[in-house]
A = this chain, B = another copy of it.
Amino acid sequence: MAADHTVRDADIAPVAALIADPTRAAILTALLGGRALAAGELARLAGVSAATASAHLARLLDGGFVTVVRQGRHRYYRLSGPEVAEVLEVLARVSARPPVRSLRQSRQARLLEEARTCYDHLAGKAGVALLEALRGSGCLAGEEVTAEGERLLAGIGVHVAGARATRRRFAPECLDWTERRPHLGGALGAAVTAVLLERGWFRQGAAPRALTLTDEGRSELAALFPSHVTAPWSKELTWQSPVT
């Protein structure tokens, strides 16, 4: 998930290396159930000697992937936190990637490409188009809202000052997964998106996180950004959702 911040140049290689070993991967997936397991049990599950398992557990411990609790002669290991579980789950999802997607899956994927939420702000083609429209119409310069933009956003009910007052970063660009181009994130992105949903310009779609542009939203947005002809709401393209 592309968060508001750009991806830091963290060394992902050593972290990935912790998971890259089949034995450690087996240990980690065994722990993914959430329960704490004894070292011996993990050795058995992974199919290695106690010595080998111990070495692996030491590395996982050092890497912060697991924590250990001593209880009598036993040492119970468990995943150190939900972030670790998340990494494993995301990894498992791409590992299990089916060679060819089912019709339904590709349909949902296309739905998500059109418009979806990224945490709490608009993403997908629509999200990217929105940011471009805001920039193109002079509403947004850098990370700041212009006087022009202040007027336009107030007109549809966005409380810009309120968004600026939060501690959250105001209007960062957020790299879009599917478009690989930025959309509007941060406090402003969330505020704008909230308005888009309140006014019924977008509706919750069929798939989780999917949004669909309503007819009303299409015409209102087209009126709001008349010069932005490449957006999903443009009339020039007699745009139709490509999802059939």
Contact = CB atoms under 8 A, between A and B. Distances in A.
A3 B104 contact: no
A3 to B, nearest CB: 7
A87 B84 contact: no
Interface residues of A, number: 57
A2 B209 contact: no
A90 B97 contact: no
Contacts of A19: 12-13, 16, 20
A94 B84 CA distance: 7
Nearest to A204: B120
A177 interface: yes
9 contacts: A9-B29, A12-B95, A16-B17, A17-B17, A19-B20, A20-B20, A85-B175, A87-B94, A120-B208
Q: What 5 pairs across the A-B complex have the smallest Cβ distances?
A: A34-B180, A82-B177, A10-B95, A119-B208, A16-B19
